[in-house]
Amino acid sequence: MNVKILGNGGFYNEGLPYNAMAIDGHVLVETPPDILQSLMRQRMRPPQMDTVFISHIHGDHCFGFPFFFFNWLYWGDADSHYKKGSRLAVIGPGGLSGHLRELMRLAIPPEHPYLRDFDERVQIIEIDEDDVIAVKGNLWFGFRRTAHSLPTFSLIAGEVGRAGGVPSSSDYLEKALFVYSSDTSMFEGVRVLLGSGAKLILCDTNGENEKEVHMSPRELMAAATAQGLSGADSGRLRGIHMSRRMERVGELRFVQPGEEFTLL
């Protein structure tokens, strides 16, 4: 599995590209306001995506969706998804469908055919705790609720071939290759993620001291140590969703745009 970092900034970010990533070049994780710029900066194009995961409906995770979808649909003219009749799978929490449609209605006059395109071409998959689903490209995704102000899900991802099929809700954490916590304060569920078998665990920490909404690097590293992640594992655990540009705080390193991980 290949994970490419497109952006690493949180809601407040002093000009960083907003938190987003791509899996295997065809799954987009989060659609922040600047997602088109972040994709282009990494020489990626919207239409190469067939699946989108949106962890929750705060604006720094979904306000780019109307622009992403418009470009996804029409990019390539005669060879566009519009002409080919393709559909885009969008995975996220309950209520995502209505919220995205409202964003689109605000972005463009309601009589615009683009709203009909959304109804016809976007397949919304609303998920819940411990759901495990098959995803295009021989992937599977599982989901865990976080401790945040809106329904928010962590993404737990793996490969069908490597796991011997789509794992069950009881063993998907140990079969994971990649975990993305999304927005969360410290709670028991973070320790569950840290105890997974994933080769890369990206955790929400704004890089600041404790402020309740996001984890601080200090409390994240303390939880990792309690979970038995040693210094040798420090490459597995990384911070994302930062408040300003940082390389590391203590032992915790932050991911940077353009950084790429090959997870075997």
Q: Is the Cβ–Cβ distance between 138 and 169 less than 8 Å?
A: no
CB of 58 to Zn ion, least distance (A): 4
Helices 96-107 and 65-74 pack at an angle, to 10 degrees, of 80
**Residue placing its CB nearer to Zn ion in the complex, 19 or 71:** 19
CA distances from 132 to 136, 172, 175 (A): 13, 8, 12
Q: Is the Cβ–Cβ distance between 193 and 183 less than 8 Å?
A: no
Q: What residue type is assigned to position 158 of the chain?
A: G
**Residue placing its CB nearer to Zn ion in the complex, 125 or 213:** 213
- Which span sits near Zn ion by CB under 5 A: 29-37, 53-61, 96-104, 193-201? 53-61
**Residue placing its CB nearer to Zn ion in the complex, 189 or 197:** 189
CB of 124 to Zn ion, least distance (A): 19
**Residue placing its CB nearer to Zn ion in the complex, 18 or 67:** 18
Rounded Cα distance, 243 and 222, in Å: 21
> Does the protein bind Zn ion through residue 204 (CB under 5 A)?
no
**Residue placing its CB nearer to Zn ion in the complex, 59 or 98:** 59
CB of 206 to Zn ion, least distance (A): 11
CB of 113 to Zn ion, least distance (A): 32
CB of 250 to Zn ion, least distance (A): 24
Binding pattern to Zn ion, positions 174-193, x when CB under 5 A? ---------x----------
CB of 203 to Zn ion, least distance (A): 14
Rounded Cα distance, 101 and 70, in Å: 13
E strands along the chain, which residues?
A: 2-7, 20-23, 27-29, 51-53, 88-93, 122-127, 132-135, 139-145, 153-159, 178-180, 200-204, 237-240, 248-249, 252-254, 260-262
Choosing from 18, 22, 58, 203, the residue that interacts with Zn ion (CB under 5 A) is: 58
Alpha-carbon radius of gyration of the chain: 18
**Residue placing its CB nearer to Zn ion in the complex, 58 or 81:** 58
**# residues near Zn ion by CB under 5 A:** 2
Residue reference for tokens 């954490």: 173
Q: Which residues bind Zn ion (CB under 5 A)?
A: 58, 183
